[in-house]
Amino acid sequence: MSERERIKQAIDRLPEYKLAYIANLILSIEKTSIEEVEPDEWDLKMIADSQKYNDGSVVSLEELLEREGLTYADL
């Protein structure tokens, strides 16, 4: 399913009173001009590094705290 289809489905589930917020957000984004540029050498290195060290797995905060021997109080 495309992002566009997912967004349309989410909008269909929203109550009518929330649609004005979504409409304003979308219209403001539509008006914003964001320059797309090709990644330079630094960008490509950062992308490669992130792919090397990040396998896409997720660790919950609780698991990370336990792994590091910390608690919420330590934060």
Structural contact between residues 71 and 65, judged by C-beta atoms closer than 8 angstroms: yes
Residue 41 within any structural domain of the chain: no
**pTM of the predicted model as reported, rounded to 2 decimal places:** 0.40
Q: Which residues lie closer than 8 Å to 74 by C-beta, 6 or more apart?
A: 65
What domain range is 29 assigned to? 1-33
Residue 20 within any structural domain of the chain: yes
Q: Name the domain count of the chain.
A: 1
Structural contact between residues 72 and 65, judged by C-beta atoms closer than 8 angstroms: yes
Beta strands in the chain (DSSP E): none
Q: What is the pLDDT of residues 12-27, one digit of tens each?
A: 999 999 999 999 999 9
Q: What is the pLDDT of residues 39-75, one digit of tens each?
A: 999 999 999 999 888 888 888 999 999 999 999 999 8
Handedness of CA 34, 36, 41, 45 (dihedral sign): positive
Residue 40 within any structural domain of the chain: no
Residue 18 within any structural domain of the chain: yes
Residue 16 within any structural domain of the chain: yes
Residue 25 within any structural domain of the chain: yes
Residue 4 within any structural domain of the chain: yes
